[in-house]
């Protein structure tokens, strides 16, 4: 009897939209807070590549540092194939005293969407490039002027 109650509660939460968050199969999103595990599969997409990197962010810098691609070069917006590529990222700051801004950047480096925190997720169609900054660092007191953020990336193709 108890199992039926638990199953009913899970189904109710999912129907109300308050169940576990899902990775986006389209569109852009940047979140801070919960660091979801990467899915390993995404409906309608084929996993092309997966990699991890550590970026060192200078506290107080106004410019965003772009996430490197699998080949080590910075990821750039791919305006020719927006609907053909999907990037899913998790991010986690190694220090709990420095908050970073995770952002999706356009070709002109303008911030399209962002979130501040110690970790989270980024989902994009590739028309934007993921990057990190800490522009308000001079207004906060940190024991270091640099922060490391670990990113794990999955690249999907149609």
pLDDT in tens, 10-35: 333 333 334 344 677 678 999 999 89
Look up the CATH number of the domain holding residue 116.
2.60.120
Structural domain contains residue 126: yes
pLDDT(102) > 80: yes
Contact assessment for residue 122 and residue 30, using Cβ atoms and an 8 Å cutoff: yes
Residues of the domain holding 74: 22-157
Token pair for 63: 């410019």
Structural domain contains residue 17: no
| Number of domains composing the chain | 1
Q: Are strands 46-58 and 100-105 parallel, antiparallel or unpaired?
A: unpaired
Structural domain contains residue 14: no
- pTM comes to 0.80
């Amino acid at each position: 009897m108890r199992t039926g109650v638990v199953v009913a509660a899970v189904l109710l939460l999912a129907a109300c939209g308050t169940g576990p968050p899902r990775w986006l199969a389209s569109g852009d999103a940047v979140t801070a807070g919960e660091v979801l595990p990467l899915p390993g599969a995404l409906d309608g997409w084929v996993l092309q590549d997966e990699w991890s990197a550590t970026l060192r962010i200078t506290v107080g810098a106004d410019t965003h540092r772009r996430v490197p691609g699998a080949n080590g070069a910075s990821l750039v917006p791919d305006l020719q194939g927006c609907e053909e590529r999907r990037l899913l990222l998790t991010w986690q700051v190694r220090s709990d005293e420095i908050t970073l801004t995770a952002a999706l950047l356009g070709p002109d480096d303008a911030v399209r969407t962002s979130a501040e925190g110690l970790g989270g997720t980024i989902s994009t169609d590739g028309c934007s490039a993921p990057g990190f900054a800490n522009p308000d660092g001079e207004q906060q007191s940190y024991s270091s002027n640099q922060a490391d953020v670990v990113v794990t990336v999955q690249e999907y193709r149609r």
